[in-house]
Amino acid sequence: EIQRRGPLLFRHALNLGLVSRFCTGLATPMLNNHTFLYFAYGSNLLKERLQLKNPSATVHCVARLKDYKLVFGNHKGLASDRWHGGVATIEHSPGDEVWGVVWRMNMSDLDQENVTLGAYSPVELSVKTKGQELNCRTYIMNSCVYAPPSPQYLQVIVMGAEQNGLPKDYQEKLRSIKTNMYEGPLPVMAELEKMAALKNLKKIMEIFARFSPFFA
């Protein structure tokens, strides 16, 4: 079980970016010659996490992938130095479903770091959103050896699910996932908190600037 509350400032900044659960869009993985649709289901549910390496990413919609399930593990059993535990992937499982976020991204972000290293392979899958199906690019781990995630990694996934309004029952399912109880430091968490804090500060400054004549 993970801590249900992250750092207050971090969570407040995430709440400022809350998006609609559903949206409409073009039913194609390539919106034009410069962008594509990417279905995220793990830590990339969280905007701040995805934008650490992919600043072009913008929310397209929330969607559901049928006949797949979310699992955790490591490529060839090699533990993640970044997350100190298993990381997310999906596998075919009739009757199950995975909820995620469809992001619109620049073609320059097409190749992810772990794909280059051979840990994940890109695939094109059809996901369902309100009123339509979308063909999206996503990534599935190669040679997955099951392993529980760290509490911090699972926390990022849960925050992303909250941030984007995934179904409440799916959020509860995520919270119930057992972790490896790792309690050590994770530099990536400090990066995320710093990024969220800076975004929150920027919003505050914009609001202050809007009303600055009243304080002159």
22 has binding-site annotation: no
42 has binding-site annotation: yes
36 has binding-site annotation: no
Q: What's the number of CA atoms in the CB half-sphere (13 Å) around residue 178?
A: 4
Mean pLDDT along residues 174-179: 98
- Structure confidence by residue, pLDDT tens digits, 198-209: 566 555 455 445
Residue type, 68: Y
What architecture (CATH level 2) is domain 8-206? Roll (3.10)
Helix/strand number for the chain, H first, E second:
6, 6
| Residue 48 is a catalytic residue | no
Enter the DSSP assignment of 129. Answer: E
pLDDT for 93: 98
pLDDT for 28: 47
38 has binding-site annotation: yes
Q: Which two tokens stand for residue 126?
A: 């059809």
- Structure confidence by residue, pLDDT tens digits, 103-157: 999 988 776 656 757 899 999 999 999 889 999 999 999 999 999 999 999 999 9
153 has binding-site annotation: yes
Decide if pLDDT at 195 tops 60: yes
126 has binding-site annotation: no
Mean pLDDT along residues 72-94: 95
Closest CA to 57 of 42, 41, 40, 70: 40
**Bridge partners for 58 per DSSP:** 104
Q: How far apart are CA 130 and CA 115, in angstroms?
A: 30
Considering just the CA atoms, what is the radius of gyration of the chain in Å?
18
Domains in the chain: boundaries: 8-206
Catalytically annotated residue among 1, 48, 97, 113 = 113
